[in-house]
Amino acid sequence: MKTNVYLEFFGEQIKEADLISQAKEIWVKDGHKASDLKKIELYVKPEDDRVYYVFNNDESGFFHIENTQNDF
């Protein structure tokens, strides 16, 4: 079964998969191997236009929400 989860906020829409992909890119850009990423926790805070992350219960930070979907 294929599923899609969308977050809609302030007239914008973003897919859950896009947020996960952005988080994984940060992990790799920080010099880690993709295979070392075992757990991702994301906390979406639309009012701040940020997604806070925790990697492997250890490293944390945030990135800005990038709307890749069409406005509705």
The per-residue pLDDT for range 16-34, each reduced to its tens digit, is 999 999 999 999 999 999 9
Average pLDDT, the chain: 90
pLDDT higher than threshold 80 for residue 69: no
The whole-number pLDDT of residue 20 equals: 96
Whole-model pTM: value is 0.83
pLDDT at 18: 94
Residue 57 CA to residue 53 CA, distance in Å, equals 10
Contact predicate 22/36, CB 8 Å = no
pLDDT computed for residue 72 by the predictor: 43
Angstrom distances, CA of residue 1 to CA of 4, 5: 10, 13
CB of 69 closer than 8 Å to CB of 13? yes
